Structure 1
Amino acid sequence: MLVTFEGIDGVGKSTQIELLKKAYPDAIITKEPGGTEFGKKIRQIVLNGSDISFRAEILLFLADRAQHYEKVIAPNSKNLILSDRGFISGMAYAMANEPNLDIEELLMFNKFALKGNFGDKFIFFKIDKDTLISRLSTREKDSIEARGMEYLLRVQDYMEMILKNLKFKVLTVKADDEILAINEKIKEFIK
């Protein structure tokens, strides 16, 4: 079962995945981008401020997604897989960069990259602006975070819209809730 953790930076996805490692010691833990050697190179290119167009960025993330599916997701499909981000994030970031993108076209490209396997369950972390500002003010920003708070909140809105429209099994959590309470909700949802 593939469980994808979706949300913008600073919402607590990584914290929850770390906690879940104890509850599910045999789970495969991965992330997008960067869950493969190829993906690590893509992540370096995109997050370190390379001067590439938004459409080139989308295609790089799609290439990473296809490789990640082939090397991590498909071979472990009988296991519990916990992924820090997936195609929902990819689509949302793309749409925040270019709002006139065709959502059906993006979905088709992602379906191709994932061989039609979008995953089983999604956990969406939603955060308010004040909490986001507080959390991100204490860390160095990568080139995506440097696009600003309004940009990140626009990405979050697109994530929410995509998840709602595609009617997946989704657990929405408030990122500012108590960490262990969130963790219990997630474990119940995974069951």
Structure 2
Amino acid sequence: MTYYVLEGIDCVGKSTQIGLLKKDEAFKEATFISEPDSSPLGSMVRKEIESKLDHKTMFLLFLASRAALFAKLRDSNPSLVISDRSLISGIAYSELPLKEALSLNLFATSDVLPSKVVFLKASKEVLEARLSGKKQDSIESKGLMFLLDVQARIEETLRLIESKGVAIKILDASQTQAALSASIKEFFKP
């Protein structure tokens, strides 16, 4: 299975870019997933994100959801999977040391890492503008500094997995949708 991931914090345009990839003829054979939504446990986890569960419980729910998703993928055996988020977000949003969080996430995925990752990175100013223009969910309502801290942890996590052979492309999320789409398609070209 070839496994590509689009990563970044909230409000950077991941879902928009996934939508554009889905419409592209070059990716018509791809299986598109979104974490945590695509797992058999996804709807339960999505509902609990809005609750006030403690951090450890949420982390374990995400691991369970990720394990169920990868069991489902192993059963269906798609040739190309493109994901909106991945274990990278799971690691970055956790409060665990990165190497420990990576180890637990690799247990959940049976040691599957993405082949390629596009990371959409937003400046403080871009993120502030995008947050001010929308109704915020429970993650976004934790504030600008929280999201920027998570973004920094995503970058640290990317450095960690890059040493394991994962190809990474970092793109400025303030670029136009068309420019981002062209860069992503070129990088993900099957």
Structure 2 length normalisation: TM-score? 0.91
1:56 equivalent in alignment to 2:54: no
Q: What's the CA shift for 1:106?
A: 1.1
Amino acid at match of 2:15: S
- In structure 2, which of residues 31, 48, 56 is the aligned counterpart of residue 45 of structure 1? 48
Q: Write the distance in 2 (CA, Å) between the matches of 1:106 and 1:29.
A: 25
Alignment map for 1:6-21 (pairs within 5 Å): 6-21=7-22
Amino acid at match of 1:30: I
1:161 equivalent in alignment to 2:156: yes
Amino acid at match of 2:87: F
Structure 1 length normalisation: TM-score? 0.91
- In structure 2, which of residues 37, 40, 47 is the aligned counterpart of residue 34 of structure 1? 37
Secondary structure in 1 aligned to 2:41? helix
Secondary structure in 2 aligned to 1:122? strand
8 Å CA contact 1:2, 1:77 repeated in 2: no
Secondary structure in 2 aligned to 1:141? coil
8 Å CA contact 2:92, 2:98 repeated in 1: no
Moved over 3 A (4+): 75-78
1:118 equivalent in alignment to 2:113: yes
Q: Which residue of 2 aligns with 1:65?
A: 66
Q: What's the CA shift for 1:176?
A: 0.5
Q: What's the CA shift for 1:77?
A: 4.1
Secondary structure in 2 aligned to 1:58? helix
CA RMSD of aligned residues (A): 1.3
Q: Which residue of 2 aligns with 1:90?
A: 90
**Any idea what the Cα deviations from partners look like across 1:18-69, whole Å, max 9, x if unmatched?**
11112222211111111124111111111x2x22111111111111111111
Q: Which residue of 2 aligns with 1:184?
A: 182
8 Å CA contact 2:8, 2:89 repeated in 1: yes
Amino acid at match of 2:42: G
Gapped regions of structure 2 (runs ≥ 5): none
Q: Write the distance in 2 (CA, Å) between the matches of 1:166 and 1:70.
A: 22
8 Å CA contact 2:41, 2:65 repeated in 1: yes
Q: What's the CA shift for 1:102?
A: 2.6
Q: What's the CA shift for 1:129?
A: 1.1
1:106 equivalent in alignment to 2:101: yes
Aligned length: 183
Q: 1:38 to 1:78 in 2, by over 3 A?
A: closer
Gapped regions of structure 1 (runs ≥ 5): none
Secondary structure in 2 aligned to 1:43? helix
Q: Write the distance in 2 (CA, Å) between the matches of 1:185 and 1:76.
A: 29
8 Å CA contact 2:40, 2:68 repeated in 1: no
Secondary structure in 1 aligned to 2:5? strand
